[in-house]
Amino acid sequence: MYSKFPSWMLGFHGCNQETYDRVFLHNEHLLPSTNTYDWLGNGIYFWENNYDRALEWAESHYPNNPAVIGAIVDLGICLNLSDSQFYPLLVDAYVALRSRLSDQGKDMPKNRLTKGQDVLLRDLDCSVIQQLHFNLRQLDCGGFDSVRGLFIEGEPVYPGSGLNNRTHIQLCIVNPNCIKGYFKPLSPSQEYPVL
């Protein structure tokens, strides 16, 4: 009942200059990611209202030609992982995935630590979310347009802090119709304070 987000938000997609040019010069759309380790399942990824993190990601993956694409996004029916009402659905999807893989004689995927204590390769989480999408399609009940997750990542901001310096909200757009438009992020004017 409360899974529909009431407003639009800004998302920022870190990429390379070639992707940026395809979107803005050739009117192409961003393509969904289908990696087995994607944090929120398959879809088009954005940093929620976080240009700096998108640029940081782009610079680390494409040091010679980083770029950032802005998007106006309507999350539609959202699997909001900061809302506990959705956790039973994830548990059901986990059980279904475990049963399906067991029947096939396959092992469950695992999330993997790759940088300190940060889990950057999330094969298990991706598989569970994809199983949830599959379950909902089988029930013919619509499903989710997007997935939203809060990730606590990085080092404490200061000694003893409960806040980490790379914490962010990630958006995974499953239904590309949720993307209402792309824009070129502007650099702030030095004559005025940034709010």
Q: Global pTM?
A: 0.90
Classify residue 145: in a domain, yes or no.
Answer: yes
Classify residue 69: in a domain, yes or no.
Answer: yes
Classify residue 71: in a domain, yes or no.
Answer: yes
- Whether residue 69 contacts residue 13, with contact meaning beta carbons closer than 8 Å, is answered with yes
Classify residue 2: in a domain, yes or no.
Answer: no
- Whether residue 136 contacts residue 143, with contact meaning beta carbons closer than 8 Å, is answered with yes
pLDDT in the model for residue 37: 93
- DSSP of 19-62: HHHHHHHH-PPPPPB--TT-BTBSBEEEEET-HHHHHHHHHHH-
Classify residue 190: in a domain, yes or no.
Answer: no
Q: What is the CATH number of the domain that holds 46?
A: 3.90.228
- Whether residue 103 contacts residue 46, with contact meaning beta carbons closer than 8 Å, is answered with no
- Per-residue pLDDT tens for 57-103? 999 999 999 999 999 999 999 999 999 999 999 999 999 999 999 99
pLDDT in the model for residue 140: 80
Classify residue 191: in a domain, yes or no.
Answer: no
Residue 116 pLDDT grade (very low, low, confident, very high; cuts 50, 70, 90):
low
Structurally, the chain folds into a number of domains equal to: 1
Classify residue 189: in a domain, yes or no.
Answer: no
CB atoms near residue 4 (< 10 Å) = 12
Burial label for 136, CB within 10 Å (0-12, 13-18, 19+), is middle
- Whether residue 171 contacts residue 146, with contact meaning beta carbons closer than 8 Å, is answered with yes
- Whether residue 171 contacts residue 43, with contact meaning beta carbons closer than 8 Å, is answered with no
Q: Can you tell me the distance from the alpha carbon of 177 to that of 163, in angstroms, rounded to the nearest whole number?
A: 34
Classify residue 50: in a domain, yes or no.
Answer: yes
Residue 112 has pLDDT above 90, yes or no: no
Average of pLDDT values for 10-33?
Answer: 97
pLDDT in the model for residue 117: 62
Cβ neighbours for 78, distance < 8 A, ≥ 6 positions apart: 3, 4, 5, 144, 145, 146, 147, 148
> Which structural domain range is residue 131 located in?
9-183
Cβ neighbours for 177, distance < 8 A, ≥ 6 positions apart: 76, 145
Question: How far from 105 is each of 15, 61, 110, CA to CA, in Å?
Answer: 38, 36, 16
